[in-house]
Copies of this chain bind each other. A is one copy, B any other.
Amino acid sequence: MLRIIPLGGVTEIGKNMTLVEQDGEILIIDCGLMFPEEGMLGVDIVINDFRYLIERRDQVRGIILTHGHEDHIGALPYLLRDLDAPIWGTRLTLGLVNAKLAEWGLAAHATEHTIEAGERVQIGPFAVDTMHVSHSIPDGIGLGIHTRHGTIAHTGDFKFDPTPVDGRLTDFAGFERLGNEGVLLLITDTTNVERPGYVPSERIVGQTFHEVFQRAERRVIIATFSSNIHRIQQVLDVSAAHGRKVALLGRSMASNIEIARELGYLSVPEDTLITVPEIEYLAANQVTILTTGSQGEPLSALSLMATEEHKRVRIEAGDTVIISATPIPGNEDLVHRTINHLFRQGADVVYHPLAPVHVSGHAYQDEQKMMFSLVRPRFVMPFHGERRHVAHYARIVQAMGFPSDRVIRIEPGEVLELDGESARITGRIDGGAVMVDGLGVGDVSHVVLRDRQHLSQDGILVAVITVDRTTGKVVAGPEIVSRGFVYVQESESLIEEAKQRIHRELEALQEGDTTLDWAAIKMDVRSSLSKFLYAVTGRQPMIIPIIMEA
């Protein structure tokens, strides 16, 4: 029996990792990280629960990576700490992986096999064909995994760019060949299944740059993703063509450019890169600044420039700023805030969708149809999408004559069993999403998040008293400390009144009773303070009574 287990994704199914199991032998596809969802306060990143794999470490034959984005490679250090498995990936992907592992001191740990897209590799019992795919990072691949029960085609993150910047088309023929041989299951990237038509070519962006550069009279500042090497190539080329030098801002921008350049994925026109201090020696119309911060991240170079807080670069009136990205949902406010600040400082801001300065890395509807038609699978499992994408994908292939019940509707962690004829969900593995906060992996529980949520809304009030261990009489306090509740300097009388209430509460409780139940007293204090504070302020801070015995 063949088992497919899509993991990852708080909401996105199988985005970050998918397991293929045959006779207990496991192939891992990708090992990415996720970003915290709404409500995961203070959480830095989210990874999959690797317990299932760690318990079966002897059965893991290898990890194959489809491309070098964080949501596909970012959790490798967390997995490799506990599991020593060989890794397969293309040259750029492994270059990015190695930079990451080096930071974690895990470099020596990993056995790596470099894939040249188009070749077949053998990983345990699985022969795996690899097909080049276009995406918003170079050197992505799709997979054809040959199993005893049939072939699984996995698209990776893909689109069909007709005129890619590096001239490498998505490997239509490779996918079609799989289709001709017969595919049991297609696992396909449905991120953009809601958008009609085709993704415009990445070259469109280069043309827009060209037009913007032509009318720019002073500096051009471009913010984009540091992993979008083709975008960066176009920035370098257009700058060189217009007699501009390019200065880099942002740590990841510099390091990704270095990796891509070393490995031959980026060709830097001679004498084009300059350092930031060198900007000063050039005329404004000879300068391009390439920076991170396209998502309006508050501490990024672009945001700091927008608010005049950047130490080395100030926005000048007449500068042109290109935001070469779209806001990831949830970041719109931050991006718009940055754009407003830039306008305020006299810059001209060029942004999507007002100008075609960005294209997506994920196939649109017609590309989905094309992929489906090439592969013609028996079953299809949409990945890298939410339930709404699956529903939409099902509608599309149904309209193409495919039975809707052969579209697999699965949740992360569920197990799909295939025998070559039928496909059914038979259960789920232990685990789920694991939150990482600082050094802690999985130690932020829902209790902690609930408390953070509460604290973020109404703050906290701590009331402390010290009582005599033997008599039960109050010997110190009540002392009250609050944070995030009211502005303390203007609320002295409120706090004073709260203290009085605790006093009265304790006195009433102590009358005629010498055996005091401190737990019950704490509850009484909390409830009485809570009512009082709500009546006066309309807020419900977290209330923590502490009773010390001296």
A residues at B contact (CB < 8 Å): 11, 37-38, 41-42, 194, 329-330, 332-334, 336-337, 339-341, 343-344, 348-349, 354, 386-388, 390-392, 437-440, 443-445, 447-449, 451-460, 462, 464, 466, 475-477, 479, 481, 483-487, 490-491, 534, 536-539, 542, 544, 546, 548-550
Contacts and interface: CB of A to CB of B under 8 A. Distances in A.
Contacts of A462: 462, 481, 544, 546
Contacts of A539: 42, 437-440
A403 B445 CA distance: 59
Contact of A354 (B38, B392, B444, B448): B392
Given A440-B486, A451-B483, A487-B447, A456 B42 contact: yes
A26 B42 CA distance: 47
A41 B457 contact: yes
4 A-B pairs closest in CB distance? A438-B538, A456-B456, A439-B538, A455-B455
Contacts of A437: 458, 537-539
A438 B548 CA distance: 32
B466 A11 contact: no
Contacts of A330: 330, 332-333
Contacts of A455: 452, 455-456, 459-460, 483-484
Identical chains bound together, number: 2
A224 B437 CA distance: 38
Contact of A549 (B460, B476, B484, B485): B476
Contacts of A452: 455-457, 459, 484
Contacts of A337: 11, 38
B458 A42 contact: yes
Contacts of A549: 476
Contacts of A443: 486-487, 490-491
B485 A448 contact: yes
A108 to B, nearest CB: 24
Given A440-B539, A455-B459, 12 more contacts: A42-B484, A336-B388, A340-B388, A438-B537, A438-B539, A439-B538, A451-B483, A453-B456, A456-B456, A466-B476, A479-B546, A548-B548
Given A340-B388, A549-B476, A487 B538 contact: no
A481 B334 CA distance: 35
A451 B445 contact: no
